[in-house]
Amino acid sequence: MLNQQSPPSNTEIPLRKIQKQLISDDVEKQLREAILSGTLSPGAALAEAQVATQLGVSRASVRKAKFQLAGEGLLEFDDRGTAIVRKLTLADAHEILEFRQALELAAIRLACLRLTEEAVAAIEENIRQTEQESDLLKLTHLDIAFHEEIIRAACNSRLMAAWHTLRPQLELWLAGMHRRHSAITAQTSEVTTNGHRLLLAALQSSDPDHAEQVMRQHTSGLQAYFSLDSETEDEFMQTDAEKEGLPC
């Protein structure tokens, strides 16, 4: 009589539990895109009930998303507690760019010495996509993502944490500047791509001093390209006096 073998015992399959996406996360994503695209213009008030009805979600989900976006500096609250789309001042812009430059100068020096093939491949793919992109908001996302790859290549968790505090407002500023220069979108794409190619070459040089110099020229060049001075105030920028309700 043949011995009957028992069926193999069930072995544990290496699967991850499916993560449910919070409704507030989706609300946050949609509101962020509306702010960055200018659909929700700087200074616009967010009516919680209206947003909840339009998205078909609870007011609690909208409220949670608003607080997250306020924490990122994309929204602020007035004296009545109404959420307002952040309108950057010239002083805000200068501080953002100063912080960005200090962060990226440190990052590129480290990244230059710690560069991996994977990092180079990610940066090259970003440049390829940027070269082919014509949508302003997508160009903004790609531009920010490129610089995040440099921060990541530095392999320093504290630099990355600092970048995450800066990124939302830097993206808000850059998206506004891209909209302001929408008539020269093709030129914006070309200038961005050329600048990023120079940065990649500097990274691959293994010369931290040279890489820092190229990054300094790149970040400083933004102010010249966008003519960031007292003559550039429009619907995107406001002076500090206007923000405080003072006469200009």
- The CA angle 15-21-24, to the nearest 5 degrees, is 165
240 vs 246: CA distance, rounded Å: 8
pLDDT at 181: 73
Q: Say whether 90-225 and 23-85 share the same fold.
A: no
- pLDDT at residue 221 tops 90: no
Note the pLDDT of residue 65: 95
In the DSSP assignment, the letter for residue 7 is P
Pick the CATH number of 23-85 from 1.25.40.10, 1.10.10.10, 3.30.460.80, 3.40.50.300: 1.10.10.10
* Calpha distance 146→194 (Å, rounded): 13
Name the CATH topology of 90-225.
Answer: Four Helix Bundle (Hemerythrin (Met), subunit A) (1.20.120)
Residue 22: predicted pLDDT:
79
Residue pair 133/185 in contact by the 8 Å Cβ criterion: no
pLDDT of residue 12: 62
Q: Where are the domains of the chain?
A: 23-85, 90-225
For residues 127-142, give the mean pLDDT: 94
Look up the pTM and report it. 0.81
CA distance 224 to 10: 65
